[in-house]
Chain A
Amino acid sequence: MLAKRIIPCLDVKDGRVVKGISFVNLRDAGDPVECAKAYSNAGADELVFLDITATIEARKTIIDLASRVAKEVFIPYTIGGGISSLDDARAILEAGAEKISINTAAVRNERLITDISKAFGNQAVIVAIDALRRENGWEVFISAGTEPTGLDVIKWAKKVEKLGAGEILLTSIDADGHQTGYDIELTAAVCDAVSIPVIASGGAGSPEDIYRVLTEGKADAALAASIFHYGKYTIGQVKEYLHKKGVCVRK
């Protein structure tokens, strides 16, 4: 049976792992390769690295990171942040990453989704969608959650699937960093709208939050950062909880 995935997310800035609270207030929490090895050993199903300071000068740093992780860690990992061209994606995938994630660039240049998907297969392309709750649904935000786009999240999710995305990484801006639970309604609405896998993100504070988003929220995977980074729960504890509740996980 296909297992639900638990994915720790490592925000990377200047080669170090940090975690923002609602995209601000950064704290340093370690070396990315060491974190990746530790999470892989702890039972993480996948890893996501988000380069939150992806400037042009920083591109080489993230490619170097992709390559160092590939030599040490033998589970899939995704790199996102600042990827704005097919060449950017190529450099990271050829360094050894399994997938890339694009967000702002996908909104600004929809063709990029198709181009990367055609070159590397749709399984290599995650479109990250940052969603903010509005009166009638959710709006897509870009530029690390700072810039509204006027796009409806559900419509955009359907569109990125058509354009060649293999997976959606869906973050609730409202819930992110608060550790009070995922936006279940948002996650379920997107999962119902598309037939590609959806990774839920933003708001994990307890194993029960993860359980809810994987069941009521219908997500295929749950991404979390703070609850793992600061040792509140181990991945093993979360998987044990899910297993006892009847969710299929890899143990």
Chain B
Amino acid sequence: MIAIVDYGLGNLKSILYALERLGQEAIITSSREEILSADGIILPGVGAFRRGMENLNKTNLTAVLKESVKADKPILGICLGMQLLFTRSSEHGRSNGLNIIPGRVEKFGAGLKVPHMGWNQIHKTRPSSLLAGIPEGAFFYFAHSYYPIPADAGVSVGVSEYGGQFASAVEVGRVFATQFHPERSGNLGLHVLENFCKICRKS
């Protein structure tokens, strides 16, 4: 069972349907018990960083997520869900994140069209279980205005180009994250989700 964390932000159904298509049992939930008993967690999210953290804090999900990571439960952050895993964001001044992966989140520079929206390529930087079987240079769907800068660039498993290079997929132990939307990225996106499901089943 995979728990898709519901904290009031994000397109949860599309992730649920994608997992169902893969034959993976999944549940949309904000329940501490359901999240802690799941084989893996997906932290989705679109919209504003500060509001995301406020919602996670209000519902005590911040503690649940940190506890799960400590217990080595696999977690996959998607889009805003990826950004929330980092230490802080410059969105709306400065907002603190979950600090599960050290690093910060910044806005794309002037002169670029923002949001960065559409299909962009992932360049693989090292072997990873999340991107296993994904060809080098494959396209995935993005829709975001901020991007993460990990303190340790080595946590990236995939990078993309948009006015410079940014970390579009990271993997630290059993913490995984993609700035792109695998649930919107066709068959290759489903493949990434399937990789995550496999990691969860091995637990």
Contact = CB atoms under 8 A, between A and B. Distances in A.
A166 B189 contact: no
B113 A74 contact: no
Contact of A3 (B11, B113, B118, B181): B118
A93 to B, nearest CB: 7
Interface string A82-121: 0000000000011110100000000000000000000111
Contact of B117 (A96, A197, A250): A197
A13 B89 CA distance: 44
A123 B162 contact: no
Contact of A121 (B13, B47, B181, B186): B47
Interface residues of A, number: 32
Interface residues of B, number: 37
A70 B186 contact: no
B145 A122 contact: yes
Contact of A70 (B17, B80, B114, B120): B17
Nearest to B117: A197
Nearest to B115: A123
Interface in B116-174: 116-121, 139, 141-145, 161-162
B183 A195 contact: no
B139 A3 contact: yes
A245 to B, nearest CB: 18
A124 interface: yes
A167 interface: yes
Given A74-B189, A195-B114, A98 B120 contact: no
B120 A76 contact: no
Given A3-B139, A120-B47, A220-B113, A95 B13 contact: yes
Interface of A: 1-5, 40, 45, 67, 70-71, 74-76, 93-96, 98, 119-124, 166-167, 195-197, 220-221, 250
Interface of B: 11, 13-14, 17-18, 20-21, 46-48, 80, 112-121, 139, 141-145, 161-162, 181, 183-187, 189-190
